Amino acid sequence: MARGREGTEPCSHYSFRQYTRYGDGGRWRFDATGLRRLGYQDTVSESSQYGEWNPKYKPSGDQEMNKNGMTLLEVIVSVSIVAVMASLVYGSARRQMEARDLASRIEERYSMVRISMSRMTREISMAFLSNHISTDKRTQTIFKGVSESPINRLTFSSFSHQRLKSDVHESDQNVITYYGKQDKENSSLMNLMRYEKKIIDDKPEDYGEGEVLARGIVGLKFRYYDEEKKEWVDSWDTMGIERGNKLPRYVEITLTIMDENGKEIPFVSKTKIQIQKPLSF
């Protein structure tokens, strides 16, 4: 056996243990029994007794729990990260809900404008005048537009009535009035109202409580095209002297609403009145 080198190994109480390493890479020790090679059990025993590091050494249960546990600082950092992530997720979800509600309100408002404009253009295009006077009951057709602020008033007779029941004494003739009225729930808002008189009588300008055609509008303006004078005017009255018994060729409708940013948005449409000459029946 080749002779190795000698050295000292630190032990408890600052004492030293004599050991020798030989060329075979083994670890040998001199003790009372003489020179012998150290085995695994001796290594574990010395590691436990003298605090020597051993990669095969397994810690006790308490030491293992301390090793795998979390300190107070680690807990605080973890909770903080979770709280930040939760707040980010909540903020993102809330913004998505707000954006969805805003888009829904905008869509509902534009849909209201589209339906209102479509209905007014259709009904105004079917306006008519008649020279016929019934013998048993006096009737009077009309087309009268008054410039009022912020919502103009327009009353006219038309063929736009639709009978919902077959056994009622109604025809396709009616008298319609568009006018403005304050909202019942919010007096700062103006509503566009529509009143329909299903039977033409001698008091076409008398109207009662109508239905809401457009809620919360800023204004409604009508303009009428005089084909003879080639000009647009703000008012029209078939019962007057200047435009007696004569209909405008075109009617321009401007409906203005307020968007979500407080900006006024006008919607403009023109419609053509199909029947220009008064009827004889």
Q: Are both 43 and 120 inside the same structural domain?
A: no
Is residue 14 in a domain? Answer: yes
Q: Are both 139 and 256 inside the same structural domain?
A: yes
Q: Are both 260 and 182 inside the same structural domain?
A: yes
Q: Are both 131 and 43 inside the same structural domain?
A: no
Chosen domain end from 23, 42, 59? 59
How many CB atoms are closer than 10 A to CB 138?
10
Q: Are both 252 and 134 inside the same structural domain?
A: yes
Is residue 150 in a domain? Answer: yes
Is residue 167 in a domain? Answer: yes
Interval 108-151: pLDDT, tens:
889 999 999 999 999 999 999 988 766 556 778 899 999 998 99
Q: Could you please report the per-residue DSSP string of the chain?
A: ----EEEEEE-GGG-EEEEEE-TTS-EEEEETTEEEE--HHHHHHHHHHH----TT----HHHHHHHHS--HHHHHHHHHHHHHHHHHHHHHHHHHHHHHHHHHHHHHHHHHHHHHHHHHHHHHHTB--B----SSS-----EEEE--SSB-EEEEEES----S-TTSS--S-EEEEEEEEE-SS-TT-EEEEEEEESS--S-TT-----EEEEEEESEEEEEEEETTTTEEES-EETTSSTTTT---SEEEEEEEEE-TTS-EEEEEEEEE-S--SPB--
Domain hosting residue 32, numbered range? 5-59
Is residue 67 in a domain? Answer: no
Q: Give the residue with greater pLDDT, 29 vs 257.
A: 257
pLDDT computed for residue 135 by the predictor = 58
Chosen domain end from 21, 44, 59? 59
Is residue 102 in a domain? Answer: no
Interval 69-81: pLDDT, tens:
678 888 888 888 9
Q: Are 182 and 120 a contacting pair, CB within 8 Å? A: no
Chosen domain end from 19, 43, 59? 59
**Among 152, 126, 119, 155, CA closest to 222:** 152
**Among 208, 220, 226, 230, CA closest to 257:** 220
Q: How many CA atoms lie within 13 A of 255 on its CB side?
A: 27
Q: Are both 149 and 267 inside the same structural domain?
A: yes
Residue 64 pLDDT > 70 = no
Q: Are both 17 and 136 inside the same structural domain?
A: no
Q: Are both 52 and 151 inside the same structural domain?
A: no
Is residue 154 in a domain? Answer: yes
**Among 116, 171, 112, CA closest to 139:** 171
Q: Are both 54 and 123 inside the same structural domain?
A: no
Cα 208 from chain centroid?
37
- What is the C-alpha separation between 254 and 266, in angstroms, rounded? 6
Q: How many structural domains are present in the chain?
A: 2
pLDDT computed for residue 153 by the predictor = 95
Tell me the CA distances in angstroms from 120 to 177, 218, 231, one per residue in order.
10, 17, 22
Is residue 17 in a domain? Answer: yes
Is residue 226 in a domain? Answer: yes
pLDDT computed for residue 50 by the predictor = 45
pLDDT computed for residue 10 by the predictor = 46
Is residue 146 classed exposed, middle or buried when 0-12, 13-18 and 19+ CB atoms within 10 A define those classes? middle
Q: Are both 181 and 42 inside the same structural domain?
A: no
Q: Are both 154 and 267 inside the same structural domain?
A: yes
Interval 163-201: pLDDT, tens:
777 777 778 899 999 999 998 888 888 999 999 998 888
Q: Are both 150 and 13 inside the same structural domain?
A: no
- What is the C-alpha separation between 181 and 4, in angstroms, rounded? 113
Q: Are 37 and 28 a contacting pair, CB within 8 Å? A: yes
